[in-house]
Amino acid sequence: MKLAFSTLGVPGMPVADVVRLAAGQGYQGVELRAHPEEPVHPGLGSAERAAVVEEFDRGGVEILTVAGYVKVAAAGEDEPVLAELAGLVELARDLGARYVRVFPGGGDQDPAESDAIAARRLGAAAPHAADLGVRILLETHDSHRGGADVARVVGTVGHEQIGALWDVMHTWLAGEEPVASHAVLAPHLGYVQVKDVASAEDTTPLALGAGVLPLRECLDTLDQDGWVCWEYEKRWYPEAARLPELLAAGREHLLRLGSPKQ
């Protein structure tokens, strides 16, 4: 198992500090939140992008994902969505990241309509992503919370550069058992995001193992060489404990859960 954490847990932290934190706590990768309020985003110039790559290379840490906020199933014109998505794919290429994360964002549209919009846009983006060697992952989230929802869209696209990102909290909130989520996502799966929360009503981030999410059952479904990323949503819950102090114990917890059963 290869471990990463999301910079959503350390909002605004300078790149050099992120790299030192990951390397020092034994995490092989980082999921970079690509938002204008963060140090890394699509507005960076070529020299700034090269400096980010150099920092990660120096620390021996992989940039796993550029985590964008494109909503591929949202109502409206395709062109702005595709332009934003292209910018994220190009940023990922320049940073050496293998993935771009996108959200569904279908809102209250009819599910068939939001499926069709998302599949059309992802299909249109796929050739550019393939040319640049980047894979776009649709996260189990919001309007497509269940694994079956995301698999339905990604399967319709039918392109190897379009895959799925399994956020285990959202499939749990959708009422899916981990084995069921994995069964439908496995043909498309890029990697898994883990977290822990107290309940469906209180999703304030907790240390891994301190909440109710079925992390062992999720990790039991995975290959031993896959990526697992801890998405600790400190940005949205400023009262939550600081992530840096939790990373070492979180790493050990994930390694225990993910170790082969005797």
Q: What is the pLDDT of residue 258?
A: 86
Full DSSP string of 52-104 = HHHHHHHHT-EEEEEEEEEETT-SS-HHHHHHHHHHHHHHHHHHT-SEEEEE-
Check residue 224 and give its pLDDT.
Answer: 85
Give the residue among 129, 125, 77 at the shortest CA–CA distance from 98: 129
Tell me the pLDDT of the chain averaged across its residues.
97
Q: How long, in residues, is the chain?
A: 262
Residues 233 and 10: their CA atoms lie apart, in Å, by 9
**Mean pLDDT in residue range 216-235:** 95
Q: Is residue 190 within 8 Å of 229, Cβ to Cβ?
A: no
DSSP-derived secondary structure letter, 236: G
The predicted structure's pLDDT at residue 45: 98
Q: How confident is the model at residue 260 (pLDDT cuts 50, 70, 90)?
A: low
Residue 241 banded pLDDT, cuts 50, 70, 90: very high
Q: Can you read off the two tokens belonging to residue 211?
A: 């909440």
- What single DSSP character describes residue 26? T
Residue 262 has pLDDT above 80, yes or no: no
- Please give, one letter per residue, the 3-state secondary structure of 98-136: CEEEEECCCCCCCHHHHHHHHHHHHHHHHHHHHHHCCEE
pLDDT in tens, 72-110: 999 999 999 999 999 999 999 999 999 999 999 999 999
Q: What is the pTM of this model?
A: 0.97
Each residue's pLDDT tens digit, 165-214: 999 999 999 999 999 999 999 999 999 999 999 999 999 999 999 999 99
Indicate whether 261 pLDDT > 60: no
- From the number of C-beta atoms within 10 Å of its C-beta (0-12, 13-18, 19+), residue 108 rates as exposed
Question: Which domains does the chain carry?
Answer: 2-258 (3.20.20.150)
Q: What percent of the chain has pLDDT over 90?
A: 97
Whole-number pLDDT of residue 101:
98
Bridge partners (DSSP) of residue 162 are: 136
pLDDT at 153 over 90: yes
